[in-house]
Amino acid sequence: MTHSEMTSMQRVLTTLGHQEPDRVPFFLLASLHGARELGLSIQDYFSRPEHVVEGQLRIRAKYRHDCLSGFFYAPVEVEAWGGEVIFAEDGPPNSGRPFLRNVDDIHHMAPPRIADSDCLVRVLRTIEGLRAASAGEVPVIGVVMSPFSVPVMQMGFDRYIELIYEQPILFDRLMKVNEAFCVEWANAQFKAGATAVCLFDPVSSATIIPPDLYRKTGFPSARRTIARIQGPVATHLASGRGLPIFDDLAKTGTVMAGVSAEEDLGRIKTACRGKLTVLGNLDGITMRRWTQKEVEARVKNAIAEAGPEGGFILSDNHGEIPWQVPDEVLMAVSDAVRRWGRYPLDWIDESMNGTAVDDR
C-alpha cells in the first residue's frame, strides 16, 4: 500500500492513532536555532513573539519537519514566579538562584497571574502567531513544566530531593500550588491555539527517582494535572529513562512519551505499543559531531526500531537541540527521515534478510 502526501497535521494525527502515515513524522525541536536564522542573540530573539514566530517558520521551511513550537526556554515559568533567568550566548537560558530560599516559603507561595506576566504573554502571542501561520496544517506545540519537575528550578535540585523524601506535607502543598498553575498555563496555551501541550517531566524518570517513589509522588500529580488540561498532553522525560514507568505514564492520560537515548528504542516501542506514541530518541549531545554517514545510520536504526505500525515521531531525546549542533547535521537528519521514513518500511525486512540498502 502506498500513501499520498499528507499534511504534517494528518501525518502526526495518524501516527498518534498508532497507524502508519505516509512517512515517519519528524519533530525538530530546535528552539534556539531560530535566533541564528534571524541573526539575533538568543536574548534578543526571545524578547519579541514576532521573532520566535519567524524563527520557527524559517526552521520548518528549511528542515521540512512536522511541527511548530511555542517553547521559549524552561525557566520562562520561573521568570513568571519572580525568579531570575540567565541568558547565554551559546545555550538555553538557565534559571538563576532558586527563588524559594527557605522551604517554609512553600507555605506562602501563590501562582503568578498569567495576564500579568510579560514573559508568559509573549509565549501566548507566539502560539497565536504560529497557529495563524499553520492554517491548521501543522501541529502547534505548547510546553509546560510539570508540577513535579519545576521545583528543581524553584528551590534547587538538592533541597527538592530532600523535600520529596523527608517533608511530605510541604511536598503536597508544593504540588497543589504548582498543579493549579500548570493547568491554567496549559489551558491558556490551548486557548491561544496550541494543538497539544508537552509536559516536561524529567524528575519522574527512572534516572532521577526510583519507580516506586514515582508512583507515590510524580504519578498522582501528573494524573491530577492532565485530567484538568483541556487538550492532548505529551510527556517528555528530557533524556531520562522511562522503561520501568511507561505503563504508569500511559495511565496519567498522556498520549506520548519523549524518550531517552540511553535506552533501547526497540524495547521502548514494545513497552509503549498501542498505548503511547514514542518521541525520540536521537542523542543531542553527540549529535554535534555526527558525520553524514552516522546521521543516516542513526536515523535508519531509529526508524527500524520504532517506525513500524506508527506510534512514532523521530526527534531528539531531550526536547531541545543544543545550539552547538551544526545546520549540516540537522539537514542530514531531515534528508535521512525523508529517505528512510516513507511507509511502508519494506527496507527493514530487506535489511534483516541481508539485502544491501545503504546504496539506495
Partner 1 sequence: MDGKGGIRMAAEIRQSESAPTSSAEAFEQALLVLDRLAARRLLIDPEGGESVIQRIENIMVPALERIGRAWETGKIALSQVYMSGRICEDLVEGLLQESGRPRKDQPKMAVAVLEDYHLLGKRMVYSTLRASGFALKDYGRMEAEALVRRAVEDEIELLLISALMLPSALRVGKVRRLLDRSGSRTRLIVGGAPFRIDPQLGWEVGADAVGNSAADAVAIIERIAGGGS
Residues of this chain that interact with partner 1 (CB under 8 A) are: 86, 88, 90-92, 94-98, 156-158, 161-162, 164-165, 206-210, 212-213, 216, 239, 241, 261-262, 283-286, 288-289, 322-324
Q: Is the peptide bond before 281 cis (omega within 30 degrees of 0)?
A: yes
For residues 316 and 311, what is the distance between their CA atoms, to the nearest angstrom?
16
CB of 333 vs partner 1, minimal distance in Å: 18
- Single out the residue of 247, 73, 216, 43 nearest to residue 143, CA to CA: 73
When computed from its CA atoms, the radius of gyration of the chain, rounded to whole angstroms, is 20
**Residue 70 or residue 242: which is nearer to partner 1 going by CB?**
242
Residues 335/339/343/346 CA torsion (nearest 10 deg):
-150
DSSP H or E run through 282: strand 277-282
Q: Distance between CA atoms of 321 and 351, rounded to whole angstroms?
A: 30
By beta-carbon proximity to partner 1, the closer residue of 199 and 209 is 209
H runs (alpha helix) in 237-322: 246-251, 265-272, 284-287, 292-306
Between 6 and 213, CB nearer to partner 1? 213
**CB-wise, 32 or 306, nearer to partner 1?**
32
Give the nearest distance from C-beta 360 to partner 1 in angstroms. Answer: 30
Q: Which is closer to partner 1, CB of 91 or CB of 253?
A: 91
- Taking the complex as a whole, the smallest distance from the CB of residue 134 to partner 1 amounts, in Å, to 30
* Least Å from the CB of residue 113 to partner 1: 26
Nearer to partner 1, 5 or 158 (CB): 158
* Least distance between partner 1 and beta carbon 42 (Å): 11
Cβ atoms of 154 and 98 within 8 Å: the answer is yes
CA 142 to chain centre: 9
Q: How do beta strands 94-95 and 233-236 pair?
A: unpaired
Tell the smallest beta-carbon distance from residue 205 to partner 1 (Å): 8
